Chain A
């Protein structure tokens, strides 16, 4: 059993890779088999993610807060190493949960809308997990590309003019970002001679002043690539269009792709530009703060102005990543702890909302049906009849949809009693008490602005979502229940139940987040653990 735990870290990468490759071998017509294997593997991934989180929180078998895994068994700064700490473990678990729910949702109809859906989906999960677990910058690039390559395929899944147009912009923008990523990584390597993030962190302080400009330029270029993924204003204009055009399950799992950018920013900036980075300490934080605030403002205005529900959800993604970036920009461990809780809650809520959007549109189309507009006018629903056998149509669908929508609204707007409120409260409370509750410290102007923007964005989400809710549930004159199946609504309910669980378990969850944030801002232990990764000594070998 202990031997399995040694290899636990690499499983989130190997499992989807093997599953995706295996599914490629199977003919697309064996849909049920493929779906079964895919769901099974994703559920296993949830279990692995859960085990990783227990390990990272120090309660598991090995009880290692920072677990490392040298791939190929090379000594660490030179070889490739996987690192799982609290943050990585949480992100892997979140990816697995979103992946599982989106996959189950897709079984209702979308997985049959194009070739190789399940393989692409597994490769996307592999890229995401790899990006969260890798310990060096170049492998971060490689896993980013794996994730993006799969996401290009998934964004175009189901074809249609809107998707191809959105996909074209998405691919062009992200290819450009990939090149920036490479330039940044190459500059950093050129200056420091290392690609390992922990080794880089240990070396930043000793860089000669003459080369520091180049290092910071490299980090800034790298940051642009990350922020483009995170959708920071003015780099995020591609995001709402692409996300709104993507099919519902794909958009639901894309909700975490912006968080990869946020994760990378947080990881690299706290490691390489933490308190021990000499004159480079805190590099780029002001930009993150103001960029994040601009993103919140842009996202909130977009939320108010969005004409369709899917676009509205896309702008919610922008608000969420803006909030996270600005909170990271404050550079305060307590604020970051709240922000990480917000990351969890908002990603789950947005993912559920993306799944819900399609069902809501169906309700509205039912309403249009009453107004003698034929279903055929909405080309999307032509294939409705042939998939009728998947799952049962549930009675009282409108009520369930309405409740789910209400919960999403509470979460996204950050209203009590749900976790969205707790997350915003934790952030704002930490902003107003920058030195902890016992000590009084002056509240900075940026904290005032940011808390004001947080409340404004919540208000904007409330207005826009209330309007959508009225238009969907009260204006519709439909008597027939909307054709919603258990298999479609169950993932939404599961995601929302998880946010409710997060609300109830807010105490332990916040403890985990605060410990995570504290270790992020004191990276010495992390760096030491990574650099001291033990190698596996085979039989008959001697330790060097």
Chain B
């Protein structure tokens, strides 16, 4: 499971960074989205990988090792919401830039 997750994060992150460095705004936004997935999975993995672990600990003294860490889950939720909102906002700016400059190049003009 660790290997699959690590490869997943690596592939998503790598493709995200590659696309972010491309000259078209649409590629940039897809790159940013992929990168945000990679980051979210990464935060998730920082709570250690557990299978079938309950996220919340009750009042009785228990072994915390049996439970999943709830903090990264809360962090991921926040990060997803924020990342999603920012990507949506970027999409609007992308369309505005396309309309104003007449090209989808990130610099607003085609390279000769």
Residues of A within 8 A of B (CB): 138, 142, 145, 148-149, 152, 156, 159-161, 164-165, 167-169, 171-172, 175-176, 178-179, 182-183, 185-187, 189-190, 195
Contacts and interface: CB of A to CB of B under 8 A. Distances in A.
A168 B75 contact: no
Contact of B71 (A145, A165, A176, A195): A195
The dominant DSSP class at the A interface is helix
B106 A183 contact: no
Interface in B72-112: 72, 75, 78-79, 82-83, 85-87, 89-90, 93-94, 96-97, 100-101, 106-108
Contact of B93 (A142, A152, A160, A195): A152
Contact of B39 (A159, A161, A182, A189): A182
B43 A182 contact: yes
B32 interface: yes
A168 B101 CA distance: 12
A172 B28 contact: yes
Top 10 nearest A-B pairs by Cβ distance? A190-B46, A186-B43, A186-B46, A165-B108, A179-B39, A145-B82, A164-B97, A182-B39, A161-B100, A168-B97
Contact of B72 (A160, A171, A176, A186): A186
Nearest to B79: A182
A138 B78 contact: yes
B20 interface: yes
Nearest to A145: B82
Interface of B: 20, 25, 28, 32, 35-36, 39, 42-43, 46-47, 71-72, 75, 78-79, 82-83, 85-87, 89-90, 93-94, 96-97, 100-101, 106-108
A278 B25 CA distance: 46
Most-contacted residue by chain B among A152, A175, A176 (CB, 10 A): A175
Most-contacted residue by chain A among B36, B100, B107 (CB, 10 A): B100
Contacts of A142: 78, 82
B108 A161 contact: yes
B106 A168 contact: yes
Contact of A189 (B28, B46, B85, B94): B46
B89 A179 contact: no
Contacts of A152: 86, 89, 93
Given A156-B96, A176-B20, A186-B46, 9 more contacts: A152-B93, A160-B100, A164-B97, A165-B107, A168-B108, A172-B90, A179-B36, A182-B43, A183-B43
A176 B35 contact: yes
Contact of A165 (B42, B47, B89, B97): B97
Contacts of A161: 100-101, 108
A168 B25 contact: yes
A239 B87 CA distance: 21
A165 B39 CA distance: 27
A497 B100 CA distance: 41
Contact of A175 (B32, B78, B79, B106): B32
B93 A164 contact: yes
A171 B78 contact: no
Most-contacted residue by chain A among B72, B78, B86 (CB, 10 A): B86
Given A145-B82, A164-B93, A189 B72 contact: yes
14 contacts: A156-B96, A161-B100, A164-B96, A165-B97, A167-B93, A168-B108, A169-B106, A172-B20, A175-B32, A175-B90, A179-B39, A183-B43, A189-B71, A195-B71
Contacts of A190: 46-47
A224 to B, nearest CB: 14
A93 to B, nearest CB: 28
Contacts of A187: 46
A183 B42 contact: yes
A160 B96 CA distance: 10
Contacts of B87: 175
A172 B89 contact: no
A186 B79 CA distance: 11
Contacts of B71: 189, 195
A161 B100 CA distance: 6
Contacts of B72: 186, 189
Given A152-B89, A156-B93, A171-B90, A183 B39 contact: yes
A172 B75 contact: no
A136 to B, nearest CB: 11
Contacts of A138: 75, 78
B32 A172 contact: yes
A8 to B, nearest CB: 27
Given A189-B46, A189-B72, A172 B96 contact: no
Most-contacted residue by chain A among B39, B47, B82 (CB, 10 A): B82
B39 A164 contact: no
B109 to A, nearest CB: 9
Nearest to B17: A176
A171 B25 CA distance: 12
Contacts of B97: 164-165, 168
